[in-house]
Amino acid sequence: MKRSHASTSNNAKSARQSSAGLSGAAGQEEPSVFMVDASSVFMCKICNAILAEGRSACEYNKELNVIACLKATKTVIVDNEVKNNVNEGIKVCVFSFLKCKICVAALGMFLYSTAAEFAHLRDMFCFFANSIVCYSMKTKQMIEGNKIDVNVSQCTTQLRELKRELFATEQRIRHLVTRVTNENCADQSCNEG
C-alpha cells in the first residue's frame, strides 16, 4: 500500500468535496451509516494521512465512540507517556494516546489495562470517531468517522473459513500419524519374524 501522500491527499480532497452534502454524480444522499470493508482506509481528519486499512477494523464501540483496529500504519504513533483514566465512561484504565506522525493530532488511545467490559479493546488501536475519516475506494467517498460502522459478519465469515481449514489440516495430520504408526508397527513385526 505504498502511495505518495500527495496523491492520497488530492484524492481525499476531491472525495471530500464530492461527498459534502450530496455524493456521486447521481446526486444520491450519503447513507446515514457506512459499513467499512476491505476497500476502505481510515485517515487523519486534519492532514488525510492514512492510519489503518478497513480490513483491520474489528469494532465500533458506541460507549467510547472509538473504532478499534488490530493494526495501524507507521503514521500512527503510540505516545510514550502512559496515563490513567480517559473519562468516566472507561472508569479505571491505563492507556497511551495515539497521535498522527505528520500533524501530531490526537487520534485515539491504546489501552493497556481496563475494566472488564472494555477488556476486548486492550492492545488495539482505538481511534476516536471524531478524529478520523474513512475513504472508500469502492464508492470514492469520504465518510466522517461518526458515520462509520464495522462489518463484524465479515470477520465471522473469515473465522469460519479459518476454522474449516484448521480442521481439515488436523484431519490430514491425524491420517499421516496413523499411517506412519501403522508402517512402523509393520516394520517392527517384519524385523521380529
**pLDDT tens-digit profile, the chain (193 residues):** 333 334 344 444 443 333 333 333 334 444 455 566 667 888 999 999 999 988 788 888 888 888 888 889 999 999 999 888 756 666 678 899 999 999 999 999 999 988 888 888 888 999 998 999 888 888 888 878 777 777 665 556 666 777 788 888 999 999 999 988 888 877 776 555 5
Same structural domain for residues 141 and 184? no
Range of the domain at 12: 5-150
Q: What is the pTM of this model?
A: 0.61
Are 25 and 91 in the same domain? yes
Note whether 136 and 156 are same-domain residues: no
Asked if residue 162 and residue 140 are part of one domain, the reply reads no
Distance of alpha carbon 155 from alpha carbon 162, whole angstroms: 10
Whether residue 107 is found in the same domain as residue 63: yes
Judgement on whether residues 131 and 159 belong to the same structural domain of the protein: no
Domain shared by 100 and 172, yes or no: no
- Looking at the structure, do residues 137 and 77 belong to the same domain, yes or no? yes
Q: Are residues 72 and 21 in the same domain?
A: yes
> For residue 70, what is the enclosing H or E element?
none
pLDDT at 177 (0 to 100): 92
In this structure, the number of other CB atoms found within 10 A of the CB of residue 143 comes to: 24
Same domain, yes or no, for 144 and 163? Answer: no
Cell 498522527 appears where?
Answer: 100
SS3 content of the chain, % helix, strand, coil (to 5): 35, 30, 30
